[in-house]
Amino acid sequence: MARFEYLEARTVRQAISLMSRHGQDARFVAGSTDFLIRWRQGIWQPKFVINLQHIPALSKIRFSRKNGLRLGAAETVQAIEENEYVRRNYPALATGATAFAGTQIRNLATIGGNICNASPAGDTLPALLALGAECRVTGPDGERVVPLDQMFIGPGQTCLEMGEILTEIRLPPPKANTGSIYIKHSPRGAMDIATVGVASLITLRNGGNFCDDVKISLGCVAPTPILAIKAEGMLKGKELTPGLIDEAARLAQESVTPIDDVRGSASYRKSIVGALTKRTLERAIEIAQGNHVPYRLQRNLAVQAEF
142-157 residue pLDDT tens:
999 999 999 999 999 9
CATH class, domain 56-171, is alpha beta
Report how far residue 52's alpha carbon sits from residue 91's, in angstroms, rounded to the nearest whole number.
28
Residue 301: is its pLDDT beyond 80? no
Average pLDDT over residues 14-30: 96
pLDDT (0 to 100) of residue 291? 79
- What is the 3-state composition of the chain as percent helix, strand, coil, each rounded to the nearest 5? 40, 25, 35
Distance CA 177, CA 202 (A): 8
Q: pLDDT tens, 269-284?
A: 999 999 999 999 999 9
Has residue 302 got a pLDDT over 70?
no
**Residue among 172, 171, 184, 205 nearest 288 (CA):** 205
CA distance 86 to 221: 26
| pTM across the whole model | 0.93
Which residues are registered as beta bridge partners of 137?
A: 144, 166
pLDDT for the residue numbered 51: 97
- Is pLDDT larger for residue 293 or for residue 61? 61
Domain ranges (residues) in the chain: 5-51, 56-171, 178-303
Percent of the chain at pLDDT > 90 equals 87
* pLDDT(303) > 90: no
What percent of the chain clears pLDDT 70, i.e. is strictly above it? Answer: 93
Q: Could you say which architecture CATH assigns to the domain 5-51?
A: 2-Layer Sandwich (3.30)
What is the predicted pLDDT for the residue at 98? 94
pLDDT of residue 191: 66
Q: Give the Cα separation of 1 and 307 in Å (integer).
A: 42
Domain 178-303: CATH superfamily, name plus number: CO dehydrogenase flavoprotein, C-terminal domain (3.30.390.50)
* Contact in structure between 283 and 305 (CB atoms under 8 Å): no
* pLDDT per residue as tens digits for the range 95-136: 999 999 899 999 999 999 999 999 999 999 999 999 999 999
Mean pLDDT of the chain: 93
Q: What one-character DSSP code corresponds to residue 109?
A: -
**Res. 306: pLDDT tops 50:** no
What's the rounded Cα separation, in Å, for the pair 172 and 164?
23
Distance CA(187)–CA(260), nearest Å, equals 15
- Judge whether residue 9 has pLDDT over 70: yes
Cβ proximity of 126 and 196 under 8 Å: no
Question: Which of 12-26, 34-48, 155-169 shows the lowest per-residue confidence on average (mean pLDDT)?
Answer: 34-48
Per-residue pLDDT of 34-71, as tens digits, reads 999 999 999 999 999 999 999 999 999 999 999 999 99
pLDDT tier, 183 (very low <50, low <70, confident <90, very high otherwise):
very high
Residue 167 and residue 169: Cα distance in Å, rounded? Answer: 7
- By C-alpha distance, which of 153, 98, 9 is closest to 305? 98
pLDDT tens figures, 226-235: 999 999 999 9
Residue of 211 and 101 predicted with greater confidence:
211
The distance from CA 107 to its chain's CA centroid, rounded to whole angstroms, is 16
